[in-house]
Amino acid sequence: MTRRLLGALLLAPALAQANALLQPSPLPLQYPPFNTITDADFAPALNAGMAMQRREIAAIVANPAAPTFANTIEALERSGRLLSRALTVLSSLNGAHTNPERQRLMREFAPLLAQHRDAIALDPALFQRIDTLHQQRDRLQLSTEQRRLLERRHRDLLRSGVQLPPDAQARLRAINVDLSRLGADFNQKVLAEVNASAVLVATRNELAGLSQTQIDALREPDGRYRLPLQNTSGQPMLAQLSHRPTRERLVQASLSRNARGDGNDTRELISHVLRLRAERAALLGHAHHADFTLQTETAGSTAKVNAVLAQVAPAAVAAARQEAAALQAQLQQEHPGATLQPWDWAYYAERERARAYGYDQAQLQPYLELNNVLERGVFHAATQLFGLRFKRRPDLPVYHPDVQAWEVIGPHGRSQGFLLLDLYARPSKRGGAWANAYVGQSHLLGTQPVVGNHMNIPKPAAGQPTLLTWDEVNTLFHEFGHNLHSLLSDVRYPSLAGTAVPRDYVEFPSQVNEMWQTWPSILAHYARHHQTGEPIPKALLDKIKAAQRFNQGHATSEYLAATLIDMHLHQLRAEQIPSAHQLMATEAEVLKAHGFDAVPVPPRYRTPYFSHIMGGYAAGYYAYLWSEVLDANTVEWIERNGGLKRATGERLKRYLLARGGTEDPMVLFKQLVGHEPHLGPYLKRRGLVTGKP
Ligand SMILES: [Zn+2]
């Protein structure tokens, strides 16, 4: 009898046969059986999963034996597998390929899951056992990983309020339920709005600057052209569109998202979320939400984050002002008397790039064909560093025809995991790019990683090659860096695996992986003309290299503007939170206070569609800068110590990628590069000059 059949018999047979989520996947490495999972499976599997985990927790608590690491902490690690399997697939599909039923399920289950999590986190008997173990931790002969897991469990329960009086706990539970509901609503409004905000134009003249292939792909059945938006404030097509009114329409549509007073307006919702977070932080004894969040991050305190932002922001604005002056001169030539606006920046930056460095994006794109970049670039670098090999697995089911399944084979020749690549934009997918794990690595559970990689690359018309922008190539290397963090994980406990590290550390390995995009041997390997196969001309490569700091004032400013808004909103007490109608004015004040009103650079996300701060990056958007400081220090170390070779990969694996959350991240960082991180390499890379050394 196979394991699958046995599992089915233990559950109600008819139900188990019909519901693909109620048993472990029959596919290799528990790869999700997308071909047999239906939307009707989710609700019963989630309910059964919560019930099962309640029973598992009850058994841990009811154990008459004194608490041990095995009967309490390890037992907790083994609990909730059915729930996590069902929830992982639902939330992944809701992000990558949603539909009304999946959205309804997310709304229905968000509060139930919040209650479920709190029932465990606020269980006094469970805390009693963990607290006992925590007090005995020096005598338990725990491994480093076990000790860290125990400390983290203990800390997390304290942070969820397990020691607060009952009335405060009741309020916390209510806040968490409200926040989960508001979070699900927010995501749905943002997706609906980005689809609803596409700009329709009637004539081809208004699309001047786009290629024939692009224009064909935008054509609607009614003969008009539809310019879809991406989730960021800036829109990639702005770099090409020479018709100024079209650019203006595109930017206005983008910047006004979710603040137009209709059903997709999120301002009221955001104000409400901010108040609830501030109230929760106060209940838990913190000055504000940022203080609560920073406690467990490597940055450690809001003061530290504020200080770095205050140091970098003026340097970024100064660099952006210089860049703006050059763009203004370009604009003047075509539109005498005009002032540089947000919708002019990307277009004239391309002109300026051509003038100052002798090339533009359009020259580059024929050399950036998706499959070449992926297999001869991203995968090739991972082979050189880690000995990984990649094999297409068209036999494995996928949830959308555009998704590709790959098997990742380790240096030992055995399967290391699976990778799902889901790279094209579609209206059912949330914006941006992200990586996830369908199955996490764990020696305790005997599981190997199954990971996903999602982007929003515009899909070309049928039969046309996918030619990437330089930024998209960067994003592919970045997200694959997250995949490597999961794929190379080598830990015992699932809750410490792969990317289970502080928020301001998780972007570190993914940013380090970006370095291979421009590494000469990798770049020469993937950048080949999509028609002739000819390598990219050396002269063009040299120009790209020379232009590496081009437009960094703009890039840093738009990022910092969003970061400062995030930090400001999360350092307020509940009574200081702006109301819905004050929200945009508050945003403008924050930007002005830091000098950003001096440059036509909108924040990378405006508050009403700033998904990061509604998801896991609240008071955490600074994490990209923080991680980039670690990244820039590491890149410097790699460049000095031999660069692209297996020994580098082994070192990255040993001190970073294999370790997940099993060690203090900053201890690992210092072992990796041999010193504390400093700001210098980051500033140098971005061409920024600050008042301080
Ligand atoms: Zn990332």
pLDDT confidence of residue 461: 85
> pLDDT by residue (tens digit) across 476-492?
999 999 999 999 999 99
pLDDT score recorded for residue 277: 98
User: Is the per-residue pLDDT at 10 higher than 50?
Assistant: no
- Identify the helix (H) or strand (E) that includes residue 453: strand 450-457
Give the dihedral sign, CA 74/80/86/90. negative
What mean pLDDT, rounded, does the chain reach? 95
Ligand 1: centre distance to CA 200 (Å): 32
pLDDT: which is higher, 548 or 161: 161
d(CA 550, CA 486): 33
177 residue type, one letter = V
Report how far ligand 1's centroid is from the alpha carbon of 330 (Å): 34
CA 22 from centroid of its chain's CA atoms: 29
What pLDDT does 2 receive?
36
Residues 6+ apart with CB under 8 A from 143: none
Instruction: Say which amino acid occupies 678.
Output: H
State pLDDT tens for residues 671-688: 999 999 999 999 999 999
Q: Burial-class residue 165 by CB neighbours within 10 Å (0-12, 13-18, 19+).
A: exposed
Quick one: average pLDDT of 464-470?
Answer: 94
Banded model confidence at residue 1, pLDDT cuts 50, 70, 90: very low
Give the active site residue among 56, 193, 350, 479. 479
What's the gap in Å between 194 CA and the centre of ligand 1? 21
What would the pLDDT profile of 395-424 be if each residue is shown by its tens digit? 999 999 999 999 999 999 999 999 999 999
How far does residue 84's CA lie from ligand 1's centre (Å)? 22
* Per-residue confidence (pLDDT) for residue 89, from 0 to 100: 98
Distance between Cα 630 and ligand 1 center (Å): 14
R_g over Cα of the chain:
25
Cα 510 to ligand 1 centre (Å): 6
Across the range 299-315, mean pLDDT stands at: 96
Torsion of CA 604, 609, 614, 620, to 10 degrees: 10
Q: How far is the CA of 162 from the centre of ligand 1 (A)?
A: 32
Amino acid 545: pLDDT: 86
In angstroms, rounded to a whole number, what is the distance separating the alpha carbons of residues 447 and 468?
A: 35
Predicted pLDDT of residue 9: 42
Neighbours of 290 (CB within 10 A): 27
* Whole-number pLDDT of residue 462: 87
Cα–Cα separations (whole angstroms), residue 559 to 313, 366, 610, 625? 10, 29, 12, 9
CA dihedral 136, 142, 147, 150 (to 10 degrees): -60
Query: Over 80: is that where the pLDDT of 17 sits?
Result: no
Answer yes or no: pTM beyond 0.85.
yes
Distance 624 CA to ligand 1 centre (A): 8
Residue 440 has pLDDT above 70, yes or no: yes
Whether residue 248 lies in the annotated active site: no
Digit-coded pLDDT (tens) for 245-298: 999 999 999 999 999 999 999 999 999 999 999 999 999 999 999 999 999 999
Q: Please state, in angstroms and rounded to a whole number, the distance separating the CA atoms of residues 44 and 46.
A: 6
Residue of 613, 683, 684, 643 whose CA lies nearest to 183: 613
Distance 520 CA to ligand 1 centre (A): 23
CA–centroid distance, 89 to ligand 1, in Å, is 20
pLDDT classification of 691: cutoffs 50, 70, 90: low
User: What gap in Å lies between CA 606 and CA 615, rounded to an integer?
Assistant: 15
Q: Which of 336, 292, 303 is nearest to 172 (CA)?
A: 292
Tokens of residue 502, six digits: 């502080």
Would you place residue 88 in the very low, low, confident or very high pLDDT band (cuts 50, 70, 90)?
Answer: very high
Q: 97 C-alpha to center of ligand 1: Å?
A: 20
**For position 544, what pLDDT does the model report?**
87
The single-letter DSSP state of residue 72 is I
Compute the average pLDDT of residues 119-145: 98
CA of 475 to the centre of ligand 1 (A): 8
Residue 184 has pLDDT above 80, yes or no: yes
607 pLDDT above the threshold of 80: yes
Distance CA 449, CA 435 (A): 12
Pairing mode, if any, of strands 404-409 and 389-392? antiparallel
User: Does position 337 have pLDDT exceeding 70, yes or no?
Assistant: yes
pLDDT score of 692: 56
Give the distance (Å) from ligand 1 centre to CA of residue 142.
Answer: 33
Asked whether 614 and 263 are in contact (CB, 8 A), the reply is no
pLDDT beyond 80 at 529: yes
Q: Which of 565, 570, 571 is CA-nearest to residue 608?
A: 565
C-alpha dihedral sign at 337, 237, 231, 222: positive
pLDDT tens readout for residues 621-665:
999 999 999 999 999 999 999 999 999 999 999 999 999 999 999
Instruction: Give the neighbor-by-neighbor strand order of the sheet with 404-409.
Output: 389-392, 404-409, 415-424, 450-457, 434-439
Distance 477 CA to ligand 1 centre (A): 10
The 8-class DSSP code of residue 528 comes to B
Look at residue 6 in the predicted model and tell me its pLDDT: 39
